[in-house]
Structure 1
Amino acid sequence: MIKALVIGDPIDHSLSPVMQEAAFQQTGISGAYEKKRVPSDELEAFVNFLKDSHYAGCNITIPHKVSILPFLDEIDEEAKEIGAVNTVVNKDGKLIGYNTDGKGFLLSLKEKTRKPLSDLNVLLIGAGGAARSIAYALSKEGPKYMAIANRSEGRLRSLLKDLKDERIEGMSLQRAEENLARFDVLINTTNAGMHPDTESVPLNLNLLKTGAVVSDIVYNPLTTRWLKEAEEKGATTDNGVSMLVMQGAMAFEKWTGTFPDTNNMKQVVMEQLRR
């Protein structure tokens, strides 16, 4: 039996157990997935427990994605460059850290775009942890043009410096709004519009290009005000459920060697959220 879990603080809100249990059932693999609250001062003790346990690994959520790095035996090159880990594999007591956030997001985005990213102009909004993972994955795809807009200039500069990709342009939110017609793909990585602050939007969509793809990593509510406005303007939209499911499926594959049916996982998550 394969056992895995997700850790964080807080952790009650996590939908990972519902999603991963569905993956075990669908693949026919005997397994169980739990969630465990691990406060920051107990992280090292948890890592030591995990090494000696029968768990295949775990998912990492806020606030441990960066702080767990020093306690791992090995870190995948991509996770090292991003500077954060969201998946840990326990290989006979050796803990290896990965980051499936960015690649998971890309898998979901490619389901919505009709052209390869190398033919598209992409705007990423935000410069936090999620933006870091997604920006790294996007830069590897080589979009035709890519810009990152953020409220804080300091965080934006820090992210651009770490990405080491001179093709990516940084800009203010105001400038991004003024140049919105240039972009084929818009991605919100901030928590604007997330419950309970459901009326806020990351960016004004007045100049949105016809037929653009608008993606929001927020999934509570399922359709943010920003996505509703985008839909009204004829955009193709995608909420954060896709990224949640894809990164989870990639983690599942690392523990079991099997990639699960993501449509089934997505359906289970959506049903849970609608409740």
Structure 2
Amino acid sequence: MPSSEPEQLYCLIGDPVEHSLSPFIMNRAFSESGIAATYTSLRVESDSLLQTIDDLRDMDFTGVNVTYPHKEAILACVDRPSKHVEVLKAANTLHFTKDEILAYNTDATGTVVALQRFGNIELEGKKVLIFGAGGAARAAAYGVLEAGAETVTFLVRDPSRAEESISHLRIFFAGKNISILSTKSKKMHSRREAAIIGSDILINATPVGMVGESPEAAGDGARSGAIAGSLGPSPSLVKDPGWIRPAHCCFDFVYHPRETEFLKMAKARGAKRLDGLKLLVAQASEGFRCWTGRPFDLDKMTDALESHLAGGGGLRQY
């Protein structure tokens, strides 16, 4: 039964936001939790970001989700960042209290929750290889390292740029085995092969395989919601299908299309597969927890989202 409390207001801000699945997910979560709340989406250009946050506070909004291109710029509005935000230098969830704006980054925890709940993966001692070194890749690395992963390897086109972008991770996880491999160097071909074959979990945190994204987008840090990186111009993440083992867990953050070439390759090799909707639902649940103190039911929400999409609900990657 809905709460008798005054209706709470929440929204997603970004540019673009028109086809986001977040309003469907969050409004359903509030409804099923008996919380009187409305969640909308608001297109916000970069030059009006700070004023928009002031306006939302004046209108007594309780929380805001933040997507491209504002995850880093939004930190200028924040009074109290979470540990994840401090290390990753990006936030995707704001909670307005009477006196402060609290900021969270749910991508790191969402990655771990998705692997554990949907993939039945325990991360302690695991070797993880991540394609890309953009915001989503760094959040994934933070999450798996915090959960006990033994090693993280970033496979990127521009190692020097990646080294700079992960510097905070190296400091925070001093003593952990964090390495970078180039996709371009022919001399590193055997090392790339060994790194992929020797990993337990392969994560695509680039736009490679996404509808509407050119392969080059992954190479220059171009946006794709939370997914941006520096993989390189090849549309194939894994050069040789034989590098994927049946024991691998292959997690693609892309969810449009639902089955990317990477996941098709994993399927053909008998590997475990997770698509980007799993991350979307898991990180949304963590955001819901930041606002309400409890997550929503992941399985129930995933089923609802599948039905929504099957019934013609919009699907676009943000």
Does 106-115 or 22-31 show the bigger shift?
106-115
Change (3 A) 1:197 1:41: closer
Of residues 189, 212, 215, the one that matches 2:205 is 189
Of residues 269, 277, 289, the one that matches 1:241 is 277
**Aligned-partner Cα distance in 1 for 2:112–2:65:** 19
**Aligned-partner Cα distance in 2 for 1:20–1:176:** 40
Residue 178 of structure 1 deviates from its aligned partner by 4.5
Asked if the contact 1:17/1:34 (under 8 Å) is kept, the reply is yes
Q: Which amino acid aligns with 1:70?
A: A
**Aligned-partner Cα distance in 2 for 1:141–1:259:** 19
Change (3 A) 1:228 1:254: same
| 2:273 is aligned with 1:267 | no
1:10 counterpart residue number: 16
SS of match in other structure, 2:165: helix
**Aligned-partner Cα distance in 1 for 2:207–2:307:** 22
2:249 counterpart residue number: 213
Does 67-76 or 154-163 show the bigger shift?
154-163
Does 18-27 or 211-220 show the bigger shift?
18-27
Deviations 1:151-204 (A, max 9, x none): 122332113322114511111234423532211110000000001359933233
Q: Which amino acid aligns with 2:212?
A: P
Change (3 A) 1:271 1:215: same
1:60 counterpart residue number: 66
Asked if the contact 1:22/1:264 (under 8 Å) is kept, the reply is no
Q: Which amino acid aligns with 1:106?
A: V
**TM-score normalized by the length of structure 2:** 0.81
Change (3 A) 1:125 1:242: same
Q: Which amino acid aligns with 1:12?
A: E
Q: 1:1-275 maps to which residues of 2 (within 5 A)? A: 1-114=7-120, 116-164=122-170, 165=173, 166-173=176-183, 174=189, 175-197=191-213, 200-204=235-239, 205-274=241-310, 275=312
SS of match in other structure, 2:166: helix
Deviations 1:15-55 (A, max 9, x none): 10011111112212221110000100100101111222221
**TM-score normalized by the length of structure 1:** 0.93
Poorly superposed stretches of 4+, deviation over 6 Å: none
**Aligned-partner Cα distance in 1 for 2:57–2:213:** 40
Q: Which amino acid aligns with 2:114?
A: S
Change (3 A) 1:97 1:226: same
Residue 71 of structure 1 deviates from its aligned partner by 1.6
Residue 150 of structure 1 deviates from its aligned partner by 0.9
Q: How many residue pairs end up in the alignment? A: 275
Gaps spanning 5+ residues in structure 1: where?
Answer: none
SS of match in other structure, 1:33: strand
Q: Which amino acid aligns with 1:201?
A: S
Asked if the contact 1:149/1:172 (under 8 Å) is kept, the reply is yes
Asked if the contact 1:183/1:209 (under 8 Å) is kept, the reply is no
**Aligned-partner Cα distance in 2 for 1:256–1:120:** 32
SS of match in other structure, 1:132: helix
SS of match in other structure, 1:267: helix
Does 195-204 or 179-188 show the bigger shift?
195-204
Gaps spanning 5+ residues in structure 2: where?
Answer: 1-6, 184-188, 216-234, 313-318
Asked if the contact 2:81/2:104 (under 8 Å) is kept, the reply is yes
